Structure 1
Amino acid sequence: MKYKISLFLLFVFVLNSCQNEDEKRRAENEKEAKKNEVIFNKINKSWSFIDEPINEISEQKVNSWIEWRDFLNELRDKPRKTIGAFQKKSAAISKKAMALNTNIPPEFNIPQIRSRISILITKVRMMDLFIHLNQIPSEKVTFLIGEINKELVSLERQMDVVNVKSKIPKEEGEEDFLRMLDTARAIPNETTAPIPGKNIDPNTPKVE
């Protein structure tokens, strides 16, 4: 009889412990779900990129620069419903951003444009890194969304500057002058050979 009572009490204790663990686990899951909901809402509210060209030259490049067009199209489609959808979209944007380094139009393949593309890629990849962390720092993700938009504007304005400068007529003779400078830079510096001195006869009469 005592054995049965002890066994019954042990069973009640184990059952009670399991119920406590379940309640604790359920409370933690609810807490995590609420936290993820807050993160999702913050990112969802801030997820807005400049996906349309801001000037004429940028719009023209949408037709001829495939990587630029694909990147803007990727920015245009906003994910829905879950944080996982935002993570997937972020990875896709990062991939399209890195492709901007290839097939840059000749007129834009200059340091001023390439440096802005590099900065844009860096910030996109940082956003992708943060949004894939186990504990997502939503403040950093939303901040980087704003930074990416700033870099997009900076890049498109620089495109416009390059286009405007290319239309400024050069003064007469300027191109020839620039070619001469390039040629001069291309000629290696050579040490001038010393002119050998002549042996002068000390008895030679001098003309006064």
Structure 2
Amino acid sequence: MRYLVPIFFLFIGFTSCNDFSEQNEESIKINQKRDAVFKSISKKWLFVFPENTNSEIKETISNWNEWQQFKRELEEKPKTSLLAFQMKVKNVSKKSDSLSLTVPENFNIPQVRSRLVTLNTKIKSLDTYIHLGEIPEKRILTLITEINEEIKGVYTQWDEVVTKKAIPKEIGEDDMIRALDTTRLANKKFQDEIIENENKPKPELEE
């Protein structure tokens, strides 16, 4: 009986060592996988903001504080760990929320706002996936590519706005627009007079 106690403790110690060894091995595998994901994202993390743009676009976005903050945040690449990337994406996501709500007046049209909303949606997806316990590496890399495409699309939309504004109006177009406005106004007044006359009380007929 006296030999059973030492054997029991030896068995417990051996089991504990095995459990610790397995946990340590699993922990090493997880860290190795996270390091691999970090290196993969770090290699892919490059966002392109076109520089060869129209002077009006450059001037507008240089004075657009929300866009400049968003751009600066996205261009800064984390260098330490996967956690640093997670924090970076979280910050970028917060800054992208305000873009469609603060568009400068000369670019504030539905097409531009729609582009910015789509860009924000892609960044929100990136924020979601990069914070998962099991990070889908391929999906993260695909989203980085898609975000770059959306950024390019925003600049293309701005360029279209500037191009349309630069197209000269045909001769007499302004006169035609004024004439149409005058006609519409006259028709409206005429319709208002008809409605007013119809609503006037009619005199009672004498018997």
The structure-2 alpha-carbon separation of the partners of 1:100 and 1:126, relative to structure 1 and needing over 3 Å to count, comes to same
The structure-2 alpha-carbon separation of the partners of 1:51 and 1:161, relative to structure 1 and needing over 3 Å to count, comes to closer
Instruction: After superposing the two structures, state which structure 1 stretch, 55-64 or 98-107, moved more.
Output: 55-64
Indicate yes or no: 2:96 matched with 1:100. no
Question: Which of 21, 35, 38 matches 2:36?
Answer: 38
> What is the TM-score of this pair, normalised by structure 1?
0.82
Asked whether the 8 Å contact 1:91–1:128 carries over to 2, the reply is yes
CA RMSD of aligned residues (A): 2.8
Aligned-partner SS, 2:165: helix
Asked whether the 8 Å contact 1:51–1:73 carries over to 2, the reply is no
Structure 1 gap segments, 5+ residues each: 194-208
- Over residues 79-100 of structure 1, what are the superposed CA-to-partner deviations in whole Å (9 max), with x where a residue is unaligned? 1111010001001111111111
Q: Which runs of 4+ in 1 moved over 6 A?
A: none
Aligned-partner SS, 1:81: coil
- Over residues 36-83 of structure 1, what are the superposed CA-to-partner deviations in whole Å (9 max), with x where a residue is unaligned? 111111111111111454413432223221111111111121111110
Asked whether the 8 Å contact 1:54–1:156 carries over to 2, the reply is no
Question: Which of 4, 7, 10 matches 1:9?
Answer: 7
Instruction: After superposing the two structures, state which structure 1 stretch, 98-107 or 124-133, moved more.
Output: 98-107
User: Hey, what's the Cα distance between the residues in 1 that align with 2:26 and 2:122?
Assistant: 34
Q: Paired residue for 1:48?
A: 46
Q: Paired residue for 1:76?
A: 75
* Matched positions, count: 193
The structure-2 alpha-carbon separation of the partners of 1:30 and 1:112, relative to structure 1 and needing over 3 Å to count, comes to same
| Deviation at residue 103 of structure 1 after TM alignment | 2.2
User: Hey, what's the Cα distance between the residues in 1 that align with 2:107 and 2:155?
Assistant: 11
Give the percent of matched residue pairs that are identical in Structure 1 and Structure 2: 34
One-letter amino acid of the structure 1 residue matched with residue 59 of structure 2: Q
User: Hey, what's the Cα distance between the residues in 2 that align with 1:109 and 1:183?
Assistant: 30
Structure holding more helix per residue = 2
Aligned-partner SS, 1:158: helix
Q: Paired residue for 1:167?
A: 166
> What is the TM-score of this pair, normalised by structure 2?
0.82
The structure-2 alpha-carbon separation of the partners of 1:15 and 1:129, relative to structure 1 and needing over 3 Å to count, comes to same
Q: Paired residue for 2:117?
A: 118
